[in-house]
Structure 1
Amino acid sequence: MAYRFAILLSILLCSALARAEAPLLRISAGEWPPYLSATLERQGPVAHLIGDLLAEEGYRVEFHFLPWPRAYAEAAAGRFDASAVWMHKAEREADFLFSAPLLDEQFVFFHLKSQPFDWRRFDDLSGMTLGGGLEYSYGPAFDAFLQSGKVRMERVSSDRQNFEKLLKERVVLYPQEINVGYAALRNQFGAADAARITHHPKPLLSNLSYLMLPKRLAASDALRARFDARLQQYRDSGRYQRYFDDLQTGRYLPVAPAPH
């Protein structure tokens, strides 16, 4: 018995030592529940997926949650090994390499049930005031429409602020990814307020998001190749989809913050 215990202890110690010696990757991220958040179990399904992928490539991973503009800027400056997760924009290619697509998203317009809304073309939104997120892109076509001046977008730093403005009728519409929007309503508002809000079924944008790796770091190209190959293995085996199936069945719930 003592011999078996010694063998088991040796295996555990070796495993812990191997983990401690694995190279550390630091990834900047913005708060984007239910996909990514410091306050969720395993920091959300996207963080869980990225962490597992890179662990199988021999890395330890730390996520550092920052305001979105800072998450971008500090990763671009090479102070992080990667940043998660971002829509592709051509101008971002000056700073980053993009992984293979990591997340499929659907953006919709949220609005009050008391203010019925319909649209077919962007011009149908003319004259409206919209809520929006700091540094958010809503795809090249809608970004160009915003620049036309036909609508006004008031950008703030959180979903909570945007939905509060919607509830107070300070904005008419809030474009957001459908699961992200409903997670914010579910977790940050009472049932009565959440029930006042719905979304238009026509998608504003069906989008892919990516892990971005800074061009400033020499290791980024090789790391991207390893990440992409492992991600494809996950997709081929069906393992990729299980993270998002778990999200729909109630995993990745909010967790209590760690004591200071």
Structure 2
Amino acid sequence: MFCLRINFKLDPRHKVFLQISATLYQVGTKTGYAILIIRSNSDGLMEKLKFLFCVILCIFVSLTNAQADRRTLSIAVGWDKPPYVMSDAQSGYEIEVISDVLTILGYEAKFIPIPYGRSYDILFNSRFDAVTTLSHKVKIEGVYLSSVYIEYQNVAISRRALNANIDKISDLAKYSLVAFQNAHRVLGFEFGEMTLSHKQYLEVPDQARQVRLLLTGKMQVIVMDINIFRYLHNQIIPQAEQQAVTIHPVFPINGYRMGFSNEALNDEFNEAFAIYRKTKQFLRLQQKYNLHNQLGAAQISKD
């Protein structure tokens, strides 16, 4: 909320009173009024006050226009993948990071859930100002990619009872396999080539379904981020019924970026994030969600 109120009261002998009052109620909405009341026997004084009023009014208009430019940004984000995105994109680590950075810039973020498979085409739709969680490995015409703001540690996961021997990506070809949408595009050339000839390979948008397919034995191996798996495994399966699993860290850490339709906005985001990642708030956020491998955290274990 922006409020400007200026009052001038001059010598009572001149019987002069000047009031300027204006209010901007919210970012992106300009509502204001200005009142000029002058009583004077001096024409010269009245002219000076009128001029002063015009100058201050111009300053106010400039301020309100600048404030109005700090608008709400429509941001496309993939379906829930806790702990990164939760509650229909209203909470989660990734949501909070982006919101914090945009708040530094004076913007408000409106997150709109979409299937992750549409992320690489969505910026052609003028409804959106930005898209989350894009990989630099997928080239998109006319989209400005930010610096890395979040890291995902994708792994292969099997039930320990399977006793799977998975030490490298090519070993995945021996097992039925389910991954997240667009995994064949973002997990590197070797994995993408392997999926082309894999007869039991599936990609699904609902990552909770991946966990269920693994734990019910319908699929032998799943590929997903380790933090997402640990969260869903604890949420879906009661502690007493949880099965032992083996983590196969055959993928490197993947850094993901924001995609903006506007180059200047992308540059602003990069500058603000460079400052934000050095703050205690950023560290507290990682601790809040108990994240592993987030921008330099310790490596994961196989169990």
Partner of 1:185: 233
Residues 95, 188 of structure 1: CA spacing in aligned structure 2 closer, same or farther, 3 A cutoff?
Answer: farther
Q: TM-score, normalised by structure 2?
A: 0.67
Q: What is the aligned counterpart of 2:85 among 10, 32, 36?
A: 36
Cα 1:48/1:188, change in 2 over 3 Å:
same
Measure, in 2, the Cα distance between the counterparts of 1:147 and 1:116.
Answer: 22
Q: Distance in 2 between matches of 1:95 and 1:221?
A: 9
Match of 1:117 among 164, 169, 172: 164
The whole-number CA distance in structure 1 between the counterparts of 2:222 and 2:279 is 37
In 1, are the aligned partners of 2:77 and 2:116 still within 8 Å (CA)? yes
2:268 is aligned, of 211, 226, 239, to: 226
- Bigger Cα Rg: 2
Task: Note if 1:245 corresponds to 2:287.
Answer: yes
Query: 2:73 touches 2:108 (CA, 8 Å); kept in 1?
Result: yes
Structure 1 pair 69–105 and aligned structure 2 pair: CA distance change class (3 A)? closer
Question: Alpha-carbon deviation of 1:228?
Answer: 0.1
Distance 1:142 1:59 in 2: 40
Residue 62 of structure 1 aligns with which residue? 110
Mapped partners of 1:123, 1:77: distance in 2: 37
SS state of the match for residue 49, structure 1?
A: helix
Stretch of structure 1 that moved more, 184-193 or 30-39: 184-193
Cα gap change, 1:17 to 1:148, in 2 (>3 Å) = closer
Letter in 1 for 2:84: Y
Identify which of 7, 26, 29 aligns with 2:74: 26
Aligned to 1:165: 213
Q: 1:45-90 CA distances to partner (integer Å, 9 max, x unpaired)?
A: 2111111111111111100112223444333323200011122223
What is the correspondence of 1:180-219 to structure 2 with a 5 Å cutoff?
A: 180-193=228-241, 195-214=242-261
Of residues 76, 93, 114, the one that matches 1:45 is 93
Which runs of 5 or more structure 2 residues have no equivalent in the other structure?
1-22, 30-67, 292-303
Provide the C-alpha distance between the structure 1 equivalents of 2:224 and 2:24, rounded to a whole number of angstroms: 42
Q: Which AA in structure 1 matches 2:249?
A: K
TM-score using structure 1 length: 0.77
Q: Report if the CA contact (8 A) 1:33-1:183 is conserved.
A: yes
User: Which residue of the other structure, out of 23, 26, 29, is the alignment partner of 1:17?
Assistant: 26
Q: Indicate the SS of the match to 2:126.
A: coil
Runs of 4+ in 1 over 6 A off after TM superposition: none
Letter in 2 for 1:78: S
Tell me how large the CA RMSD over aligned residues is. 2.6
Distance 1:197 1:15 in 2: 58
Q: 1:144 to 1:69 in 2, by over 3 A?
A: closer
Q: Where do residues 65-76 of structure 1 align in structure 2 (5 Å cutoff)?
A: 65-76=113-124
Contact 1:129–1:152 (Cα < 8 Å) also in 2: yes
For the residues of structure 2 that align with 1:76 and 1:147, how far apart are their CA atoms? 28
Alpha-carbon distance in structure 2 between the residues aligned to 1:100 and 1:169? 39
Pairwise CA distance, 1:230: 0.5
**1:108·1:202 contact (CA, 8 Å) conserved in 2?**
yes
How far apart, in 2, do the equivalents of 1:183 and 1:119 lie?
23
Which secondary structure state, in structure 2, belongs to the residue aligned with residue 99 of structure 1? strand
Structure with more of its chain in helix, by fraction? 1
Higher relative contact order (CA 8 A, sep 6+): 1
